[in-house]
Amino acid sequence: MTMQSTSPSLTITPNKNIKVIKRDGNLAPLDVSKIREVVNWACEGMEANPITLEAGLTTRLRHGVTTREIQDNLINCALELCSPSDPNWRYVAGRLQIWSLWKDTLVRRGYEYGDYCRTVHNKVEQGQYDVRILTYTAEELQEAGSWINPEWDKDYDYAGAVLLNKRYLLTDELPQEALLTCALLLAIVEKPENRLFWARKFYQAIAQRKVSLATPILANLRIPHGSLSSCFITAMDDNLESIFDTIKDAARISKNGGGVGTNVSRVRSTGSWVMGKQNTSGGVIPWIKLLNDTAIAVNQGGRRAGAITVSLDVWHLDVPEFLEMQTENGDQRRKAYDIFPQLVIPDEFMRRVISREDWTLVDPYEVREKLGIELATTWGESFESVYQKIEANLDTEITLYKKVNARDLFKLIMRSQVETGMPYLWFKDTSNRANPNQHEGYIPGGNLCQESWSNVKPGEEAHTCNLDSLNLANIEREELPEVCEIAVRMLDNTIEITNTPFEASKNHNQKYRTIGVGAMGLADWLAKNRLTYNHLNEISHLFEDIGFYCTKTSMELAKERGYYPAFKGSAWSQGKLIGAKPVEWFLQHAAQKERWQQLSLDIQQYGIRNSHITAIAPNTSSSLVQGCTASILPCYSRFFYDKWAKGTVPIAPPFLQDHFWFYPENKSLNQQIVVKAVATVQKWIDTGISMELMFNLNEGVYFPDEPDRAIKAKDIFDTLILAWQEGCKAVYYVRTVQRDSFKEADDGCVACAN
C-alpha cells in the first residue's frame, strides 16, 4: 500500500448546537476533532484521502445522532468510494468497523487491550473460556498478553472484519485476545518449559494471518468442551441398527459444527429383499431423507444449517433416483433438497464412458447374498474382477439389475451438475491408490468439501480430520519451512485437546492422527510473482516445498512423540511418500531430489506422526477473514459486490491495485487450465483438493475469435474427463455463469443454464 502524505485541514465545520449520543448513552457536544482523528487513523498508510471520506459525511450529521451512527455512516461512505481502480477503501471501512468494535467493548467491560490476564479470568468465570487456559500461571498470562499487537487488527478489510466479529468472536472479546487464547490452548500439550515458546510462534502465525485456523478450531477451541475437527466420514451398514446409529452420529457431528460425509453404498436398493420378501425395500432414498431432515433439525448450535454429503457408488441400482432426488418432479416423500449428493466413481466406469460401453446397475444386497461379494469395499483391480464376475452371472444368479449406456448415465450426471452444481464426483480408485493405510481398510467416499478422507469402518472408525491452511498471500518463500512446521504442529496438538463427538470418531483420531494442512491465496502468490496458472513448473516447485516441509515436520514429531498407531505395515513404513508413491517417483519428478531420498529413509527409521498430512479445503468464508483469495483457485472476479444482510460488500484480492492483470478471472478462464494446475498441486498433496469448476455459458467468452460461439456440453464433458485422466481425486461443485438460452449440444447432451 502506498503511504499517504499529510493531508490538509478536513472539511467538517463544527456546530456547537449539535449534540451526539455517546455509546454509554450520555449526551455530549459534537467534537469534530475526534471524527478527524478516527478518519485519519483509518486512512493512514493507504491511497485513501481522508478529506474525501469526511466530505461524504457532512450531510449526515444532525442533532441527537449517535456516535455509532456516525461510525456506520463513515463505513458506508468508505464502501461507496470503493471501486476496481480504488479498492483500498474497503480496508478503510474494515478499520472503521474494528474501531467500532473496540469502542463497544470499552463501554461494556471498561477497557480495551492491555489486561489480558483479567480478560482470561473473567471469561473463565463466565463460562465462555475453557478452564484449561488456566494451565498457565498469572505471570505467564501476563507475559502472553504483552505479545498482543493491536495494529494487526488494522489489516482486515470490511468483509473480513465483519465475518470475524459475527462468526468467531465471543461477547466482549477483541480479535487479538481470541487469537492469543487459541494459540495458548493449542500449546498446552507442549512440555511446560516449551509452552510459551510455541504459543508465541502459534500466535504470531495466526495473528499475522500466515496460518488460518479452520472454523471449528477458531470458533470452538476457546469454549468449554468444543469439538475442533472439521471433517467426518461415516458409513452405513445394511441393517437398521447401523443406519440409525449413523444418523445419530451425523446429528452429533452437526451439533458441533463439523461437516458430515456418509456413504450409503452397502444399503440394499429399491425393490430388493426384506425378511425374504422381494420388492419390499424402499432403497437408499428414505434413509437419505432422514439424514436430510437431521441436517435441518441439528443446525450447528444455531450458527447455520447442518451440512451432509451422501455418497453412493455409481454401480448402485438407486443411482438414477439418487440423481433425481433434488428435482421438483415426482414423489416429494422421496426428495432430499438439503443434502449434498456425491457419486463414487471407479476407473472402470470412466473407461466405459469414454468408449460408450454399457454399465450395469446392481443391488448390493443380492450381490452379497448370491455371490458373497461386498461390492462397496472393493476398488481398483479387485473391483474390476468382481464386477466382471457379477456381469457374467446376470439373469442366473443376479436378477435385480439394470443395464444403461455409461455415456448416457454420465450425461445425466452432467445435466444435474450444470443445473444444481452437484453431484460431486469422487474418484474412488485414484483416492484409494494414494491411501497409505491400505493394510487397514479402504476409503468409501469423500467428505463434505471433497478434500479430506481416510479409512472408514461402519460403527468402528469414522474419518476425523483437523484442518488449517497456509495463507500464501502473506508468506514469503523463505518463511515456508517454519510456517509449515507451525501449521503441522498446531494440528497434531489439536488431536490431543479436541472433544470427539462419538466413539468411532475417537477411535479414528487416535489410530490415524489425520490432519490436513491446506493452502489459500495461490492466486495472490502468482499475481505477486507476476505468474499465471499456466506456470505449472513454478506451481509444482512451490507445492513440492510445502509437501516436503509438512511431511518432514510430521516425521520430526514422530521422533519426539511417536508414530501414529497404524504406521506399521503402511505405505509410509515401506519408504513410500506422499500419495503412497514410491521414492523413485520423487527422484524422477522432484526439483530437489536428494531431500526426498533422505526423508524416505528417516520415515522408515523414525516413523511419521500423522497418516494424512495435507488437504486443501475450499476456504470460501475464511479467506475473507484472511484477506486473500480462496483455496488455490483463481478469483471469481477481480472486483465484485457480494450481497449480505447489511447490504452489498466489495470483494477484491489483496494485490489488485498493483497486479491487476495478473489476476485471471475464473468466470472467464478455460477450466482445463484450472484442472491442469490442480492436478499439478495434487501430486504433492497426500489427501485431496476442493476443486470447483466454473463454466461460463455466454457466447464468445472462451472463443474471442468466434463471438457467437458458446461452450457446449462436450467441452464440459472433456474437462471432467481430463480431471480424471490428470489424477484429480474429486470434482467439488460445478458452477455456471448464466446465459439467456441454451442449445442442444453436438453430442446430444443439453447445456443448461444454472
Helix axes 347-355, 713-725, angle to 10 degrees: 140
**Residue 292 annotated among the catalytic residues of the structure:** no
Residue 722 lies in a domain: yes
| Of 54, 177, 440, 451, catalytic | 451
User: For residue 371, what pLDDT is reported?
Assistant: 97
User: For residue 751, what pLDDT is reported?
Assistant: 28
User: For residue 300, what pLDDT is reported?
Assistant: 63
**Residue 447 annotated among the catalytic residues of the structure:** yes
| Of 43, 77, 182, 449, catalytic | 449
Ranking 85-89, 423-427, 612-616 by mean pLDDT, the lowest is 85-89
- Residues 131, 276 within the same domain: no
Amino acid at 675: V
Closest-CA residue to 359 (of 311, 415, 315, 413): 315
Name the band, by pLDDT with cuts 50, 70 and 90, for residue 12: low
- Residues 278, 388 within the same domain: yes
Please provide the distance, in angstroms rounded to a whole number, between the alpha carbons at the two ends of the chain: 39
Arithmetic mean of pLDDT, 464-475: 97
* CATH number of residue 721's parent domain: 3.20.70.20
Name the band, by pLDDT with cuts 50, 70 and 90, for residue 14: low
Q: How far apart are the C-alpha atoms of 644 and 379, rounded to whole Å?
A: 44
pLDDT tens, 686-744? 999 999 999 999 998 998 888 889 999 999 999 999 999 999 999 999 999 976 443 33
Closest-CA residue to 674 (of 654, 694, 653): 694
pLDDT tens, 188-243? 999 999 999 999 999 999 999 999 999 999 999 999 988 899 999 999 999 999 99
- Residues 158, 46 within the same domain: no
pLDDT at 106 over 80: yes
Residue 635 lies in a domain: yes
Name the band, by pLDDT with cuts 50, 70 and 90, for residue 378: very high
- Residues 187, 60 within the same domain: no
Q: How far apart are the C-alpha atoms of 159 and 625, rounded to whole Å?
A: 7
Q: How far apart are the C-alpha atoms of 205 and 561, rounded to whole Å?
A: 23
> Phi/psi of residue 212, each to 5°?
-105, 125
More confident residue, 23 or 287: 287
Name the band, by pLDDT with cuts 50, 70 and 90, for residue 677: very high
Q: Which residues fall within 8 angstroms of residue 591, CB to CB, at 6 or more apart?
A: 540, 541, 544
DSSP string covering 708-736 = T----HHHHHHHHHHHHHTT--EE--EEE
Amino acid at 126: Q
pLDDT at 303 over 50: yes
Arithmetic mean of pLDDT, 305-333: 92
pLDDT tens, 565-603? 999 999 999 999 999 999 999 999 999 999 999 999 999
Arithmetic mean of pLDDT, 21-50: 88
- Of the three residues 106, 133, 162, the one that is the final residue of a domain is 106
- Residues 30, 176 within the same domain: no
- Residues 620, 677 within the same domain: yes
User: For residue 3, what pLDDT is reported?
Assistant: 38
Q: How far apart are the C-alpha atoms of 288 and 300, rounded to whole Å?
A: 19
- Residues 74, 174 within the same domain: no
Size of the chain, expressed as the number of residues it contains: 754
Q: How far apart are the C-alpha atoms of 324 and 342, rounded to whole Å?
A: 13
CA dihedral 70, 71, 74, 75 (to 10 degrees): -140
More confident residue, 647 or 711: 711
Q: Which residues of 302-311 are buried (b: 16+ CB within 10 A; e: fewer)?
A: eeeebbbbbb
pLDDT tens, 354-376? 999 999 999 999 999 999 999 99
Q: Please say whether the beta carbons of 203 and 147 come within 8 A.
A: yes
Residue 335 lies in a domain: yes
- Of the three residues 73, 106, 139, the one that is the final residue of a domain is 106
Arithmetic mean of pLDDT, 299-319: 84
Q: Which residues fall within 8 angstroms of residue 394, CB to CB, at 6 or more apart?
A: 360, 401
pLDDT at 125 over 80: yes
User: For residue 742, what pLDDT is reported?
Assistant: 35
User: For residue 753, what pLDDT is reported?
Assistant: 26
Question: How many domains is the chain built from?
Answer: 4
- Residues 635, 712 within the same domain: yes
- Residues 45, 193 within the same domain: no
User: For residue 748, what pLDDT is reported?
Assistant: 34
User: For residue 327, what pLDDT is reported?
Assistant: 86
Percentage of residues of the chain with pLDDT beyond 90: 83
User: For residue 30, what pLDDT is reported?
Assistant: 82
Q: Which residues fall within 8 angstroms of residue 110, CB to CB, at 6 or more apart?
A: none
Strand pairing report for 231-235 and 259-263: parallel
- Of the three residues 76, 91, 106, the one that is the final residue of a domain is 106
- Residues 545, 630 within the same domain: yes
Residue 442 lies in a domain: no
Q: Which residues fall within 8 angstroms of residue 347, CB to CB, at 6 or more apart?
A: 380, 384, 427, 429, 430, 724
Residue 212 lies in a domain: no
User: For residue 739, what pLDDT is reported?
Assistant: 65
The DSSP bridge partners found for residue 261 are 233, 309
Q: Please say whether the beta carbons of 673 and 534 come within 8 A.
A: yes
Q: Please say whether the beta carbons of 468 and 217 come within 8 A.
A: yes
- Residues 508, 610 within the same domain: yes
Residue 66 lies in a domain: yes
Strand pairing report for 515-520 and 211-213: unpaired
Residue 224 lies in a domain: no
Q: How far apart are the C-alpha atoms of 723 and 708, rounded to whole Å?
A: 27
**Grid cell at residue 583:** 521414492
- The single residue listed with the C-alpha cell 472393493 is 378
Ranking 32-46, 134-148, 280-294, 420-434 by mean pLDDT, the lowest is 32-46
pLDDT at 301 over 70: no
Residue 46 lies in a domain: yes
Range of the domain at 41: 26-106
Name the band, by pLDDT with cuts 50, 70 and 90, for residue 539: very high
**Residue 449 annotated among the catalytic residues of the structure:** yes
- Residues 119, 178 within the same domain: yes
Arithmetic mean of pLDDT, 458-477: 97
| Of 263, 432, 435, 447, catalytic | 447
Arithmetic mean of pLDDT, 280-298: 95
